[in-house]
Amino acid sequence: MRPRVKAYDHADRYPHELVEQMKQMGLFGATVSPEYGGLGLPATLYARIVMHISSVWMALTGIFNSHLMLALAVEKFGTEAQRRAWLPRLASGEVRGGLALTEPDAGTDLQGIRMTARREGDGYLINGTKTWISNSIEGSCVALLVKTDPNAQPRHKGMSLFIAPRGPGFTVGRKLEKLGYKCIDSGEIVFNDYRLPADHLIGGEEGQGFRQVTGGLELGRINVAARGVGIAEGALKLASDYAQVRKTFGKPIAEHQAIQLKLGEMATRARAARLLTLDAAGSFDRGERCDMEAGMAKYFASEAALENSIESMRIHGAYGYSKEFDIERLYRDAPLTCIGEGTNEMQRIIISKQWLKRNPVG
């Protein structure tokens, strides 16, 4: 990636060549069980891969992470027939896609979605719009969250999740322009009288969609945390390298106390973010409930990415503002980690509620 990333990022061009390499390496089946053609990697190793790639180019991890969230939903909650039909093709990259949750008026509040799926004969008729969907343009399939019972109370009981491949009524809208996270295709999808057979309902039972989606968010948040670690560590590496060769007043700026204070804070943030993320990934691998741990990792690591990228840019001085230096890309990519997979405000609420639940008085 390293010699190509500037050209891709500045042109906002989809990296088809690198995607083909990722297919060959098995990354599209990284967390899929070997039984279905995947690598079956534990979350701890998967997180390290994401950290390593994100230290150079975070956007590339979005191409396979969103895809793996689709695969996770099928493997964890699908019927055996659905697993056999879809997972081998997902693991190979023959079918690529993502998770279609967000709508123009529903993001963090997933229960506020308006897309409907109405039962008609042996299938469903689906109408509505999704937005900010990764892999929507270059991919061929999504896990689609809809309302099968818009009047259900509580609202989550009326939500269902479908495997939705491209077909008549599935229209990809515009590619959304972004500050950072370039090259990956974030777009809109419009569903207009889109029909799906009933056997595309994940798990075969209506009303399970909200539980199925939130059941995969722990791994999604670990992934975003790992991205944050990568950016925090990448920004630290760029800053420390630059500080040792850039001289002012007759000596490298790394010897100035003001720069040393920044580097000390950056190194500590990056290390703490890594340890929190691996702790959450370890809990996930052991099959433990880890919404608090994943929330802590996602919250801290994303803030570490943002702070380290800003501090690294400051250490670079005017060069940090130049598109010729890599730090400006990390600076543009970092804010997304504070928003994606649930805002950091929401993470703090989740952390607080789980902490109190685990630590009652007496």
Q: What is the pLDDT of residues 49-77, one digit of tens each?
A: 999 999 999 999 999 999 999 999 999 99
Q: Is 90 exceeded by the pLDDT of residue 218?
A: no
47 confidence band (pLDDT: 50, 70, 90): very high
Active-site residue list:
341
Q: How far apart are the first and last CA of the chain?
A: 54
Tell me whether residue 143 is exposed, middle or buried, using C-beta atoms within 10 angstroms of its C-beta: 0 to 12, 13 to 18, 19 or more: buried
**pLDDT confidence tier of residue 362, bands split at 50, 70 and 90:** confident
3-state helix, strand, coil in the chain (%, to 5): 55, 15, 25
Residue 216 binned pLDDT confidence (cut-offs 50, 70, 90): confident
Percent of the chain at pLDDT > 70 equals 100
CA distances from 208 to 47, 149, 161 (A): 28, 11, 7
In the predicted model, what is the mean pLDDT of residues 232-247? Answer: 98
In angstroms, the CA 110 to CA 132 distance is 14
Which of 344, 332, 341, 346 is CA-nearest to residue 231? 332
Residue 341's pLDDT band (boundaries 50, 70, 90)?
confident
At residue 175, the pLDDT reads 87
**Residue positions counted in the chain:** 362
Q: Mind listing the domains of the chain with CATH numbers?
A: 5-92 (1.10.540.10), 97-206 (2.40.110.10), 211-357 (1.20.140.10)
pLDDT the model gives residue 330: 97
pLDDT for residue 170: 97
**pLDDT tens string 278-336:** 999 999 999 999 999 999 999 999 999 999 999 999 999 999 999 999 999 999 999 99
